[in-house]
Chains A and B, each alone.
Chain A
Amino acid sequence: MQAIEYPQFGETLYTETLANGLKVNLLSRPDFHRTYGVITANYGSNDTTFVPVGQSDYQTVPAGIAHFLEHKLFEKEDYDAFEIFGKYGADSNAFTSFTRTSYLFSATRNVNECVCQLLDFVQDPYFTEETVVKEKGIIGQEIKMYDDDPGWRLFFGILGNLYPNQALSVDIAGSVDSIAQITPADLYTCYQTFYQPGNMNLFIVGNFEVEAMLDLIKQNQAQKTFPAASQPQVAGMTNDAEVLPYRMLELDVNQPKVMVGIKGIDTVPQGREALRYRLQVEMLLHLLYSENSAMYTELYDREILDDSFGYNFQLERGFHLATINGGSYYPNELADEIIKTAKNALEILDHQGQEFDLAKREFIGHYLQALNSLESIANSYEGDLYDSATLLDYIPIIEAMTLDDVKQVAQSFLGPEVFSVFQVLPKGGQEG
């Protein structure tokens, strides 16, 4: 077990990779009442084309299968994992993203039982024809609910523009048609390929004793046998400059919504450098688009944007992109201004010395605040993507950041100018 000390924050992270390949991170918070545990498979909705374990050719499975599997893993032959956690007085849940599937619990008592239950239900798949059919109804409803959400449609609209015909542009839950094709055999194939201990990590943070916890986990894993490890092979993405520059969708909304997407086609460095890259791009976007920025102030006063304006940077395994979006009665003007600002980034950054110093203080405070949240600490762990970095590693990177770093990342990320616009407009036209 390796102990990593963070004297600046009074924290110690314990980490160990078990014999079966499962990576374990433990952060004890004795002042807290709760313990939060999350086990994550390095597998998400984007991983639909891969070489199944024990085979040699790529195979494509129906869209939405990672999320479907997440739902089905809770249900067993003679019990439901939800209910077991309920008996322990614990909450449990799960979520699927493009590149990760995570299962979690939160408990204030029976923590040992919860940890074992988390490992047991995730490591014991049970899929049958009957239970798979039933789940299609529930997930079908979930898909329909998201279809009515304008923000969701906007986001998947821009993904469709940036990554046409790629798995990334499909809803994480798939479509009613795609999930109709899912079979128990498909679920087992995906499970066996991606839910190997070596492709997973367990993060526990909260009120527990570290050594006893690690012993418990080891004992639990020692009771199980796993097939020989094999590294999952997933078809890579095409990150070229090919995008659809503009599309729109009419929905029942009061105010038009616009999203500009910036596709990253530059090469992101590996490991900790990837985290540094991410924080630099976040800083860049903050200087260009935050409430403190010149663009925001000007467009707010001109009523081209309002408080719904925001931006996000996503860096995951295989892709990275920025989205800048807001509600606006002048959606074309807003899109033009966002793109103009991105194109002028270097010029803008030349005058941002003072803003940069303020922004660094803001980022430090922001990530310090995030350390209050057990969920933030555990959920932000990205495994190999950032070479096992945790939230505790962010602040030193920010402290060391210079404005020149931000200028360099601006050249790398924004330089190729791969922009696209998606709008959600009210049905039957709009004022303005």
Chain B
Amino acid sequence: MKVALKQGVYLDITASKQFKTSRIMISFSRQAQSAKELAMRTLITSVLETASAKYPTQKQLADHLSYLYGANFGIYINRYGRLNQVIASLTLANDRFLKDDTNLLAAGLDFLNEVLVNPLLDEAGLFDEKIFTLQQKNLASYIKSIQDNKRSYVAMQIQSAYYTDVVQATPQMGTPEDVLALDRAEVTAYYHQMLAQDEVLITINGEVDPMQVEADCQASLNLVARPAQKWQLYYQQALLPAVIRKVEKQVLNQSKLDFVFALNYQHPAENYAAILFNTLFGASPLSKLFVNIREKQSMAYYASSSLNAFTNSLLIQTGIEGRNAKKVEMLVLEQLTSIIAGDFSTQELQMAKEEIITAWESQLDSQGNDLNQKNLNHFLNRQSDYATRVAKLQAVTKAQVQAVAQKARLQAVYLLDGQED
């Protein structure tokens, strides 16, 4: 059941007895215009998550979550192409399994209203200085620490090299430099703008009475009406004049070699063919990359592809011996060529379809996935009917997969070379 609580504030409820919990997700969405905005949004999640006017210390907030039977709470950012979201999520035990008489869902909505709408502000109306400064430092340090994981580090590096648009080129959390340069007054002002103007979607899944929950949301959540917006999530980039090649040296045991391909397939006509192409190419243990580069050639511990439908691009990640980089690149390109040439059986295509359908079906067993799916459907303005998706996927032909593969153009190659000179 989906309703508009106010203009620009929507509520989507799924009543289900499947889980032992109820889960609430509240997203604030807009299209970020600058790298700095990404940093601001991420810092806001850290500040709001730490304390609020009613729970002014981290301990008081943590104690209240314990009181709510260990409610699982977090505020984080998400990106779908051009869409940037701040999302608060709360998972609560179902009252039925608890020994005292309580209405945890209503208490959870009150809590979310406190942390999102009534943050801890100083007399000047700015975010509390101590919390702001500490979270700013911690966030910058956290973003830096992601670089300690070399696999994600290389993925970030190659994407910032590939994208020509600054927002797409910037890691979704922002950069440590941008975070450290932020000013408390401007972040507070931005927060108020976000709270008043970003589109809000509240999604809830649990053993609930939708009418009651709608009334609880009206009573608990103090959110004003805001202009309705039209969304364009897809980002399309022109082909680069030449393949970007970067080599970085670090002393490491394992080297990493990543690739970005532009796909430029048609939305939505070729969506399902693109998903199948990705599965056959590198997103499955039965894929060309996994079977031929890892299993047959023993050239990599991991070799996989991931599709970003919103930017129409494919990221290939491999962990290899640095001295094999040339050979691995050749092998990756060979796997692509073989898909273009139709070097896969109808049985393999059918297996890929089965694998994807299983993944979709499995998602029906996750409360979090259900909310994510509703969130995405809302911004794509679509009804995602499971049966329709399956039918569309089953209808994809071998030739259609080859056609998408044919459109792949290598755009960037990044080698993090761990060999000692």
Interface residues of A (CB under 8 A from B): 8-9, 31-34, 82-83, 86-91, 106-109, 134, 137-138, 141-142, 144-145, 147-150, 252-255, 290-292, 296-297, 300-301, 303, 306-308, 327, 355, 358-359, 361-366, 368-369, 371-372, 374, 399
Q: A99 CA to B354 CA in the complex, in Å?
A: 34
Contacts of B59 in A (CB 8 A): 291-292, 296-297
A145 lies within 8 A of B301 (CB) = yes
Check A134 against B298 for contact (C-beta < 8 Å): yes
Cross-interface CB contact of A83 among B94, B150, B286, cutoff 8 Å: B286
A34-B365, A306-B138 known; A297-B148 Cβ under 8 A: no
Please judge, given known A-B contacts A297-B58, A358-B63, A359-B66, whether A142 and B301 are in contact too, CB under 8 Å.
Answer: yes
Alpha-carbon gap, A361 to B70, bound state (A): 6
Q: Give A307 to B365 CA distance when docked, in angstroms.
A: 30
Asked, given contacts A361-B67, A374-B365, whether A9 binds B97 with beta carbons under 8 Å apart, the answer is yes
B139-147, B208-216, B333-341, B405-413: which lies at the interface:
B139-147
Residue of B nearest to A150 (CB): B148
A365 touching B358, Cβ below 8 Å? no
Residues of B within 8 A of A (CB): 17-21, 57-59, 62-63, 65-72, 91-94, 97-99, 130, 134, 137-138, 141-142, 144-145, 147-150, 250-254, 284-286, 294-295, 298, 300-302, 319-321, 351, 354-355, 357-358, 361-362, 364-367, 418
A113 to B39, CA, bound (A): 50
Q: Which of B141, B294, B319, B364 contacts A254 (CB 8 A)?
A: B141
Q: Which 6 A-B pairs have the closest CB atoms?
A: A89-B354, A365-B70, A365-B69, A141-B301, A137-B298, A362-B70
> Which of B138, B149, B358 has most chain A Cβ within 10 Å?
B358
Chain B proximity of A364: nearest CB distance (Å): 6
Which of B18, B57, B147, B150 sits near A32, CB closer than 8 Å?
Answer: B18
Q: Are A9 and B357 in contact (CB under 8 A)?
A: no
Closest B residue, CB atoms, query A138: B298
Contact across chains for B19 and A399 when beta carbons are under 8 A apart = no
Cβ of A91: which chain B residues have Cβ within 8 Å of it?
A: 355, 358
- Residue picked from A144, A359, A369, most chain B C-beta under 10 Å: A369
Taken together as a complex, chains A and B put the C-alpha atoms of A107 and B195 apart, in Å, by 42
Q: Given contacts A33-B365, A365-B93, A369-B91, are A149 and B149 in contact (CB under 8 A)?
A: yes
CB contacts (< 8 Å) of A369 on chain B: these are: 20-21, 70, 72, 91, 93
Q: Given A142-B301, A291-B59, A372-B19, are A108 and B97 also a contact pair (CB < 8 Å)? A: no
Secondary structure class of chain B's binding surface, majority of residues: mixed
What residues of B have a CB within 8 angstroms of the CB of A107 in the complex? 358
In the bound complex, CA of A358 to CA of B66 (Å): 6
Cβ of A32: which chain B residues have Cβ within 8 Å of it?
18, 365
Answer whether A148 and B70 are a contact pair too, CB < 8 Å, given A307-B138, A369-B20: no
CB-CB < 8 A to B362: which residues of A?
33-34, 106, 108
Known: A86-B351, A366-B70, A372-B367. A255 touches B141 (CB 8 A): yes
How many Å lie between the Cα of A339 and that of B294 in the bound state?
44
Question: What's the Cα separation between A9 and B63 when bound, in Å?
Answer: 25
Contact residue among B130, B142, B149, B150 (Cβ-Cβ distance under 8 Å from A308): B142
Determine how close the nearest CB of chain A comes to the CB of B385; give it in whole angstroms.
16
Partner of B58, one of A88, A108, A300: A300
CB distance from B363 to the nearest CB of A (A): 9
Known contacts: A83-B286, A86-B355, A137-B298. The answer to whether A364 contacts B69 by CB under 8 A is yes
Question: Whole-angstrom distance from the CB of A428 to the nearest CB of chain B?
Answer: 12
- Pick 24 A–B contacts, CB within 8 A, sort by A: A82-B286, A86-B351, A89-B354, A89-B358, A108-B357, A134-B298, A138-B301, A141-B321, A144-B254, A145-B302, A147-B253, A148-B254, A252-B250, A252-B252, A254-B145, A254-B147, A292-B59, A292-B62, A300-B58, A303-B137, A361-B68, A368-B21, A368-B93, A372-B19
Nearest CB of A to B403, in Å? 24
Which residues from A are CB-within-8-Å of B98? 364
Chain A: CB-nearest residue to B255: A144
- Distance in Å from the Cβ of A378 to the closest Cβ of chain B? 13
19 extra A-B contacts, CB within 8 A, seeds A290-B62, A361-B68, A365-B69: A33-B365, A34-B361, A86-B285, A142-B301, A145-B254, A145-B301, A148-B254, A252-B250, A254-B145, A255-B144, A297-B58, A297-B59, A300-B58, A307-B138, A361-B66, A365-B68, A368-B69, A368-B97, A369-B70
